[in-house]
Amino acid sequence: MNKLRFVIPKGSLEEDTMDLLKQAGYSLVGTDRSYRPFINDPEIELKILRPQEIPNLIAQDAHDLGISGIDWTEESGVIDEVEDILDLEYGKVELVLAVPRDWNDIKNFSDLLKKFLNKNKPVRIFTELIATTKKYIMNNPVYKQKFQDKVPEIITPWSRNGENSQVKIILSFGATEAKPPEDAEAIVDLTATGKTIEENKLKVIDRLVSSTARLLANRKALKDPWKKGKIQDIKMLLKGVVEARKKLHIFMNIKNKNLPKLLKELPALKRPTIAPLSGIEGWSAINTIIPKDTFMKLMPILRKYAQGIVIHEPRQIIPSEEEE
C-alpha cells in the first residue's frame, strides 16, 4: 500500500494541530504516549516531531508533508526548498526585538547599535532563531555602514564563529526574556501576546517576522502522481476547517414580500438557497453561509424580517477542486 509520510508538531503548536485534524475528520490514538500515533487513514504514516526540525526534514525528503510555523521555515533556510501550500491560520506569533523598558532613548535597533558602539561596548543579543536574527542585523543600515559584510559573532555551547565581536548573537535555551539587562542588551524572541515581555520589564522596538502554522509539502512528493493527489486531499480537508472557522451556517424563514430587503444585505458563499416553506403560503426558507464577523451587523435586519433563525458553526466548508 502507498503511504504518505506526514509529520506534525509537538510543543506550542501541538494542541491546535490535534484540534485541526480532529475537526477535519481524523482520529488519532496514542499521541500522549508515542511519537508515531495511530491515525484512521491507512494511507498516512504519521509522526510527531519538534516544529523547529520539520521544515528541514521535509526539504531533505525525510517526509512528504508537515506542519510547522513559517518562522522556523525561514530560520531553517529552506523557504525556497519546500512548498508552502496552506496557511492554517493558528499559532500566530511575532518575532520581535526587545530591550529594557526604561531605556527611553532606544526606539529602534539603530539607536541600540549607536549607543553601545559609541561607548565601545558590545551589543549582546540572545535568541533561539540565530539565522533570522543574523540576517536582520546585517541588513540594518547602521550596521552596514559600520561593519559592511562582517558577520556578527555567533555563540553557542558547541561553537563560536563570525568575525565581528562588537555584535554578539547568543543562542538562548529558553527564559529569553530574563536575560536583559545583566546578560544581554536585547533579545529576539517569539511572542503571541507580548504579555511575558511586558512582565519582564521589556519593550518591543521592532518586529522581524509574523508567523502562523503552515502546511508544507516536499517538492519531490508533489511530482509523484499518487502523493500529489493524497496531499491535495489532506489540504482540502484542512482548508475546509480553516474556512469553516470563519463562517456561520444560518437558516431562517421569511415572508416573500420581505425577501428583497433581506437579500440586499445578506452575504453568502455564492447566493443563498431559497425554497418555498411547505404548507405556508407566501413564506420561504433561506439557507446560507455568512462570514462570522458579519453576524452582529446583520442582527437588526434579521430581527426585523426573519423568524425561526437557526445558527450552526460548520465543521468544514470544503472547496471544489476548481476553486483550488
User: 10 Å Cβ neighbour count for 79?
Assistant: 14
Domains and CATH numbers, the chain: 4-91+212-244 (3.40.190.10), 93-211 (3.40.190.10), 247-312 (3.30.70.120)
Q: What are 143-153's pLDDT values in tens digits?
A: 999 999 999 99
pTM, 2 dp: 0.89
Q: What does each of the 324 residues of the chain score in pLDDT, given as a tens digit? A: 799 999 999 999 999 999 999 999 999 998 788 899 999 999 999 999 999 999 999 999 999 999 999 999 999 999 899 999 999 999 999 999 999 999 999 999 999 999 999 999 999 999 999 999 999 999 999 999 999 999 999 999 999 999 999 999 999 999 999 999 999 999 999 999 999 999 999 999 999 999 999 999 999 999 999 999 999 999 999 999 999 999 999 999 999 999 998 888 887 667 888 999 888 899 999 999 999 999 999 999 999 999 999 999 999 998 776 555
**Strand stretches in the chain, DSSP E:** 4-9, 28-29, 38-39, 44-49, 65-69, 82-87, 93-100, 123-127, 152-156, 159-161, 164-171, 186-191, 202-211, 213-218, 247-255, 273-276, 283-291, 306-312
User: Is beta strand 186-191 parallel, antiparallel or unpaired with respect to 93-100?
Assistant: antiparallel
Extract the C-alpha cell encoding 230: 493524497
Q: What are 80-111's pLDDT values in tens digits?
A: 999 999 999 999 999 999 999 999 999 999 99
